[in-house]
């Protein structure tokens, strides 16, 4: 793709620069749109704050605002990273092809490297995907009391790879999202704590008579 074929190789260089500048402008526009959407989500939808829509408002909790902010930031960060990577790869390949190089071997090399990275970082990729779906589906968030395996604690932060929670003893637990196969959210629904076990009857302090 050459915009100025009459200039020869100089036209190819200029065309490559135009492609890269266009990609940069496209990325700035997309980043602006993502940031604007994230800000709107963080501030909440004003339509549901009207008196006529009180029935649509979720139960208010102290961590609702922080939870919404973190979800928006997590999703916005992921979208920004995916958009930046996609635009950069496509723009660089188009610029290289414009300069007259054959990108076939480059694509083959990138594919092989991608497969190698995928095998080496499959656990990280799995954690990130599961963290994304946990965030999208709102399985749990900041301030929720959750049960993961034999650990019960309050969620302090939820990232794409790690969930951090604190138990009743004050210990901080870092759980990889890929290791979470089943989670119980005690803050959702109508969780009722099991009754305390009855205290064993006290042993009499005196012995009636002696043999």
Q: How confident is the model at residue 55 (pLDDT cuts 50, 70, 90)?
A: very low
Burial (Cβ within 10 Å: 0-12, 13-18, ≥19) of residue 9: exposed
Q: 97 — phi, psi (to 5°)? A: -65, -35
Please give the pLDDT value at position 59. Answer: 42
In this predicted model, what pLDDT tens digit does every residue of 11-35 receive, in sequence order?
Answer: 778 888 888 899 999 999 999 998 8
Please give the pLDDT value at position 63. Answer: 54
Q: What is the pTM of this model?
A: 0.57
Please give the pLDDT value at position 117. Answer: 67
Please give the pLDDT value at position 21. Answer: 92
Per residue in 117-151, is it b (16+ CB within 10 Å) or e — as a string? eeeeeeeeeebbebbeebbeeebbbbbbbbebeee
At residue 18, the 3 state secondary structure works out as helix
């Amino acid at each position: 793709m050459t915009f100025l074929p009459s200039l020869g190789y100089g036209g190819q260089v200029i065309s490559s620069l135009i492609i890269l500048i266009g990609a940069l402008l496209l990325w700035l526009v997309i980043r602006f749109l993502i940031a604007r959407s994230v800000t709107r989500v963080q501030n909440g939808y004003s339509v549901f704050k009207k008196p006529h829509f009180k029935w649509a408002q979720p139960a208010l909790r102290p961590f609702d605002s922080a939870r919404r902010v973190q979800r928006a930031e997590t999703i916005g960060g992921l979208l920004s990273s995916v958009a930046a990577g996609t635009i950069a790869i496509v723009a660089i390949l188009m610029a290289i092809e414009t300069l007259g190089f054959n990108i076939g071997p480059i694509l083959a090399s990138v594919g092989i490297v991608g497969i190698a990275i995928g095998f080496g970082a499959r656990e990280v990729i799995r954690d990130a995907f599961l963290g994304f779906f946990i965030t999208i589906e709102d399985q749990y968030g900041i301030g929720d009391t959750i049960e993961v395996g034999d650990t019960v604690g309050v969620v302090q932060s939820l990232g794409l790879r790690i969930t951090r929670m604190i138990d009743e003893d004050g210990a901080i637990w870092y759980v990889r999202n890929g290791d979470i196969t089943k989670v119980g959210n005690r803050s959702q629904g109508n969780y009722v704590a099991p009754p305390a076990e009855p205290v064993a009857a006290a042993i009499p302090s005196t012995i009636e008579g002696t043999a």
